[in-house]
Amino acid sequence: MVTASEDIPSQPSFRTKRPLVNDSQDSLTVIDLREIWTYRELFYFLTLRDIKVRYKQAAMGAAWAIIQPFAIMFIFTVFFGFFMRLPTNGMPHALFFYSGLAPWMFFSAAVGAGSVSLINNSNLVTKVYFPRIIVPAAAVGGLLVDLLITCALLIGLALYYGVSWTWEIVALPGLILLLMWLALDFSIWLAALTVKYRDIRHALPFVLQLWMFLTPIMYPLSVVPGKWHWVMYLNPLTGVVESLRSSITGQSFNWRAIAASLVIALAMLLISLQAFRRIEQSFADLI
């Protein structure tokens, strides 16, 4: 295990590098937090680099974090709200759609960026030793600015519609952390799989598009027959989206949906770390 006093080798042996996790743990995968903390400056650097590249290469900069969700919200409000009259559980249409789009757009963007993060940083991955899990984690961290902007706009939109907040609003930070946790889980898992199976990066946009329609963004969970709710709970974003709306409007939480999201987040953490651990040994050859 790397300690704070050790230097990062300039030409490490990739096959003999220290493992990301403790090999003595066969049943559960444990993250070596001390080693990751040792390389925290690299995580900061990669995160800031992604943020700077995203905004510097865009003519409108951070404005895209505002324009994109508002444009989609407007389209949803017109077609699904005014024309199709989909139910929104008493919420204003714009607020209902935006509260679903805000977490989804972060999740989909984070998973998309995280899945190709190792391939995009192949020169760094194959030449310098560091915990490789930092790369997909930094890809997710690079989108936190966009998430904070969309959350601030969500709160502003709720104030505009005169929503009366209750104690449920205190759950909002926890829901954001759960959203980030899920995005990190899937990013780690897909980052490793994409190195081995390159077709994933071509199939992922299609899968995410289907996933969006299976998430209660354009419709509330209440329109789904009760006997099929368990199927919706298999989607971890269901609990996040439904709970976020509840925290904003003061409605009752769906504790089953939240519990399902937490269980899936924990299960995906173990699965993603195990998959990352196994494929990591061959990163140099595959990349």
pLDDT given at position 287: 67
Q: CB neighbours of 227 closer than 8 A, spacing ≥ 6?
A: none
Backbone angles phi, psi at 34, to 5 degrees: -65, -40
Higher-confidence residue of 182 and 59: namely 182
Asked whether residue 23 carries a pLDDT value surpassing 70, the answer given is no
Asked whether residue 117 carries a pLDDT value surpassing 90, the answer given is yes
Closest CA to 158 of 244, 50, 45, 44: 244
Asked whether residue 9 carries a pLDDT value surpassing 90, the answer given is no
* pTM as predicted: 0.85
Cβ proximity of 96 and 88 under 8 Å:
yes
Asked whether residue 275 carries a pLDDT value surpassing 50, the answer given is yes
Confidence of residue 10 (pLDDT cuts 50, 70, 90): very low
Q: What is the mean predicted confidence (pLDDT) over 124-148?
A: 90
For 178-215, the pLDDT digits (tens) are 999 999 999 999 999 999 888 898 999 999 999 999 99
Give per-residue burial for 165-199: e unless 16+ CB within 10 Å, then b. Answer: eeebbebbeebbebbbbbbbbbbbbbbbbbbeeee
Least confident range of 14-18, 140-144, 177-181, 260-264: 14-18
Higher-confidence residue of 151 and 21: namely 151
Domains of the chain, residue spans: 32-286
pLDDT given at position 256: 95
Asked whether residue 15 carries a pLDDT value surpassing 50, the answer given is no
